[in-house]
């Protein structure tokens, strides 16, 4: 994996682009902070990588129509069995990808692995302010009386992951034995 200095998931995309793979990227907006719309799309424009921004809930429809060949996500934390914590919505993408027979890849540096955690249910899930869901860049988008749930992350079980891509190599069908070998444990 030759993506040093290129981040993780976007590094894989850059490698494919510069390797002449003729890729096109569907970019989820990534609510509520809009990291996909504000950061990922900007980086793709800067690299001249063909892409189109979509609302988060559009991905499943595109998969259903056969317009997605692979899903590549990053990770915030990975357990010893290969469960992955990432931005909320990652689990949903993995379930949809599995249903439609689409490979689901996680690209992450070795530092993302937490050898103290065996399973995904051991990962604490941060609950963020409901106001971040009810407001968008200072504009109220929901009635004041409405409550909201704002979880920052979800956990994707290893069974839904085709491979984890790291700077040390690729772990296909991740499991505890393969992860321990990758980490030299």
User: What is the pLDDT at residue 8?
Assistant: 75
Which of 152, 157, 153 is closest to 83 using CA atoms? 157
Tell me the CATH number at 17: 3.40.50.10470
In terms of residue numbers, what domain contains 91?
Answer: 9-125+155-182
**5 neighbors 104 (Cβ within 8 angstroms):** no
Catalytic, 76? Answer yes
List, for residues 19-36, the tens digit of each pLDDT value. Answer: 999 999 999 998 878 888
Is 149 within a domain?
A: no
Confidence (pTM):
0.91
Instruction: Tell whether 89 is covered by a domain.
Output: yes
Give per-residue pLDDT as tens, 71-130.
999 999 999 999 999 999 999 999 999 999 999 999 999 999 999 999 999 999 999 999
Active-site residue identified among 28, 69, 76, 154: 76
**Vertex 131: Cα angle to 142 and 76 (nearest 5):** 120
Question: Which of 113, 69, 60 has its CA nearest to residue 91?
Answer: 60
**Backbone phi, then psi, for 96, in 5-degree steps?**
-65, -45
Report phi then psi at 80, rounded to 5. Answer: -65, -25
Tally of domains within the chain: 1
2 lies in some domain: no
Structure token pair of residue 143 = 């009635």
Q: Is 142 inside a domain boundary? A: no
Residue 27 lies in a domain: yes
Q: Confirm whether 140 is domain-assigned.
A: no
């Amino acid at each position: 994996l030759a993506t040093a200095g290129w981040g993780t998931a976007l590094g894989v995309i850059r490698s494919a682009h510069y390797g002449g793979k003729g890729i096109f990227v569907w970019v989820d907006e990534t609510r509520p902070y809009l990291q996909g719309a504000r950061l990922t799309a900007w980086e793709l424009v800067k690299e001249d990588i063909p892409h189109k921004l979509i609302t988060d809930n559009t991905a499943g429809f595109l998969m259903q129509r056969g317009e997605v060949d692979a899903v590549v996500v990053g990770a915030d934390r990975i357990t010893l069995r290969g469960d992955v914590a990432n931005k909320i919505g990652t689990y949903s993408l993995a379930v949809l990808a599995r249903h439609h027979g689409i490979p689901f890849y996680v690209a992450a540096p070795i530092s993302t692995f937490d050898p103290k955690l065996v399973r995904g249910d051991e990962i604490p899930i941060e609950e963020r302010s409901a106001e971040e869901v009810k407001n968008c860049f200072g504009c109220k988008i929901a009635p004041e009386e409405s409550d909201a749930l704002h979880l920052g992350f979800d956990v994707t079980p290893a069974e839904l992951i085709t491979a984890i891509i790291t700077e040390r190599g690729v772990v296909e069908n991740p499991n505890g034995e393969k992860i321990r070998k990758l980490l030299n444990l």
